[in-house]
Structure 1
Amino acid sequence: MSSPSATFVVWSSAWLSGFAAADDVLDALQDWAELHEVVAADADTATTVDIPARGEPAGHPAALLAALRRTGAGPGRLVLPVAGDVRGLGQTVQFAAEALHTGEAAVHGTLGLVPETVADGVLRWTVFGLGAAPPGNPVALGEAEHELTGAMRVAAGLLTELGVARHRAGVREELRDRLAAQTKVRWPEGMPQRALRVLQRATEVSVILDLAGEDEPGGALSASAATKREQALRPLFDAVRIARCAAIDEAVRTLSNQSGRV
């Protein structure tokens, strides 16, 4: 599926370039939670971005947009870190740790944003001052799409051999229902079609991987077979992450180049 950080990166970048209205950004965030609240990670950041510090009553998500303007942030970037791959997070230890914990973050210039569900229907965004903008690790969309397709081909034979989901009744219907639930995220008008296609493909693969991960190892008849299945799936998880980041990068570039519309 997509993520709150991906939604924020695309819509806020479109807003910064004049391609979307502030209300469009706030409305898009409603796909992820009814209530969004905003806090700064520490007192210094709170002063810089004029957002309440943690421990104080939280601010409104509109304050995030104001903070981007105030700090002169340019287009955003999606980061989906995992253990062993924290590229794009920079040197701020606390930000990197919390982004790694949640598995996602948005980076806008010298600000890092980490969303976290803190209650039913409540998503909290924590803003970190990064000192300097972390270097990006851009992957061309074509390369990412190729890697996603290639990883699927490499793993397909192993997944069939290990019988993933073979004993799971109604797996096709479950796959269809999950996919339908995870493809309702709104994107700005003008999103590049190739980026949308890659995001859709990544979502499809992610849903399959989720089902495979939940499946009891009935198709894997031994510990060695279970390990083999895990090894078959791991490259696909990495390919999905890379493809999503590349698609969001492409969307941000495209929308940022179509400025001044709103």
Structure 2
Amino acid sequence: MVSVSCASATLVVWTSAWLHGAAAADDVLDALQAWADLHEVVADDDGTATALDLPGPDEAPVGPALLLAALRRAGTTTGRLALPVPGDVRGLGGKGPLSTCALRAGEAVVLPDTGVGLVPKIVADGVMRWTVFDLPSASGAEHVPIGEAEHGLASAMRQAATALVTLDVARHRPNVREEIAALSTKHSKLEWPAGMPPRAVRVLQRAAEVTAILEVAAGDSPGNAKSASAMQARDDALRPLSEAVRRARCAAVEEAVRVLSDQAAGLH
């Protein structure tokens, strides 16, 4: 289970704001500090390294400021968040290093007009490395309207709530509401650009609440039992909710990128 917020979402939204004049480069770098004290960038292969003028796999990494400069030179205009899970790696160009690494991380940044994808990984205490991969093809990405994602999240939450009551999940756990509230707050404590659309923020916050419920439920023994059947029933109840969260997060980030781009277009 990955948290509702992730480094890739931060990079997509803030880089989009910067590319469209709604944020400064320093704002992007400051936002990334929420995920690690130090960020470094390296290309996965020599071809991608040459194309973007970034260090290759056998060279010393550089800082994210040079990544932003490379994206500007490459004419990058948009990006999107990918949250791959086993059986669904759409939008990552099929089987290859990018989809393999993104699946392991559970997240990626996709820059279709530049033909690359980026995957973050903690490589040392306080150090996050972004590896830039070639994107073989940008086809196959799912577009989910934010209204549909928001409705799906609410629907899945109602269904899961009913199932979890039936399964007695967290019934014997003291202060479970406080635990969920604390987790929800932790997941939603992130700064977003000034032009961030309120609906996207609302969906991300709701996804944070649902993710907190998922974390508490996933760590609980249904009905205080540890039988395989009880665990399976709990997992079956949580799966649709987890998928709804994933769709909602991607839709919210996509909506943010669209609105920030449209705002910039309206200023010119």
- TM-score, normalised relative to structure 2: 0.93
* Of 152, 164, 170, the match for 1:165: 170
Inter-partner Cα distance in structure 2 for 1:107 and 1:131: 11
Structure 1 residues 147, 58: closer, same or farther in 2, change over 3 A? same
Q: Once the two structures are superposed, what CA deviation does each residue of 1:90-109 show, in whole Å capped at 9, x if it has no partner?
A: 13610000000000000112
Displacement of 1:245 in angstroms is: 0.2
Inter-partner Cα distance in structure 1 for 2:150 and 2:216: 22
Amino acid corresponding to residue 200 of structure 2 in structure 1:
A
2:227 pairs with 1:195: no
Gaps of 5+ in 1: none
Q: Which residue of 2 aligns with 1:138?
A: 143
Q: Which residue of 2 aligns with 1:16?
A: 19
Displacement of 1:47 in angstroms is: 1.0
Inter-partner Cα distance in structure 2 for 1:147 and 1:219: 30
Is the Cα contact below 8 Å between 2:181 and 2:212 reproduced in 1? no
Is the Cα contact below 8 Å between 1:91 and 1:130 reproduced in 2? no
Deviates more, 1:141-150 or 1:85-94: 85-94
Inter-partner Cα distance in structure 1 for 2:66 and 2:58: 17
Q: Once the two structures are superposed, what CA deviation does each residue of 1:60-99 show, in whole Å capped at 9, x if it has no partner?
A: 1012211211221221100000001111111361000000
Q: Which residue of 2 aligns with 1:5?
A: 8
Q: How many residues align?
A: 262
2:261 pairs with 1:248: no
* Of 225, 231, 234, the match for 2:230: 225
Q: Which residue of 1 aligns with 2:96?
A: 93
Q: Which residue of 1 aligns with 2:79?
A: 76
Structure 1 residues 131, 88: closer, same or farther in 2, change over 3 A? closer
Inter-partner Cα distance in structure 1 for 2:216 and 2:103: 23
Amino acid corresponding to residue 253 of structure 1 in structure 2:
R
* Of 50, 55, 78, the match for 2:53: 50
Inter-partner Cα distance in structure 2 for 1:52 and 1:88: 25
Is the Cα contact below 8 Å between 2:116 and 2:134 reproduced in 1? yes
Give the secondary structure class of the aligned counterpart of 1:233: helix
Give the secondary structure class of the aligned counterpart of 1:142: helix
Gaps of 5+ in 2: none
Is the Cα contact below 8 Å between 1:202 and 1:243 reproduced in 2? yes
Displacement of 1:33 in angstroms is: 0.7
Inter-partner Cα distance in structure 1 for 2:175 and 2:18: 43
Q: Which residue of 2 aligns with 1:33?
A: 36
Give the secondary structure class of the aligned counterpart of 1:258: helix
Inter-partner Cα distance in structure 1 for 2:147 and 2:123: 37
Instruction: Give identity over the alignment, percent.
Output: 59
Amino acid corresponding to residue 111 of structure 1 in structure 2:
V
* Of 163, 179, 184, the match for 1:174: 179
Displacement of 1:168 in angstroms is: 1.9
Q: Once the two structures are superposed, what CA deviation does each residue of 1:12-46 show, in whole Å capped at 9, x if it has no partner?
A: 01111111111111111111111001010011111
Give the secondary structure class of the aligned counterpart of 2:66: helix
- Per chain length, whose mean CA-contact separation is higher, i.e. which structure has more relative contact order (CA < 8 Å, sep 6+)? 1
2:143 pairs with 1:151: no
Displacement of 1:145 in angstroms is: 0.6
Inter-partner Cα distance in structure 2 for 1:134 and 1:70: 23
Is the Cα contact below 8 Å between 2:22 and 2:195 reproduced in 1? no
Amino acid corresponding to residue 232 of structure 1 in structure 2:
A
Give the secondary structure class of the aligned counterpart of 1:182: helix
Inter-partner Cα distance in structure 2 for 1:241 and 1:126: 22
Give the secondary structure class of the aligned counterpart of 1:9: helix
Is the Cα contact below 8 Å between 1:220 and 1:229 reproduced in 2? no
Q: Once the two structures are superposed, what CA deviation does each residue of 1:142-195 show, in whole Å capped at 9, x if it has no partner?
A: 001111111111121110011111122222222222222222211000111111
Inter-partner Cα distance in structure 1 for 2:51 and 2:154: 44
Q: Which residue of 2 aligns with 1:129?
A: 134
Inter-partner Cα distance in structure 2 for 1:68 and 1:135: 23
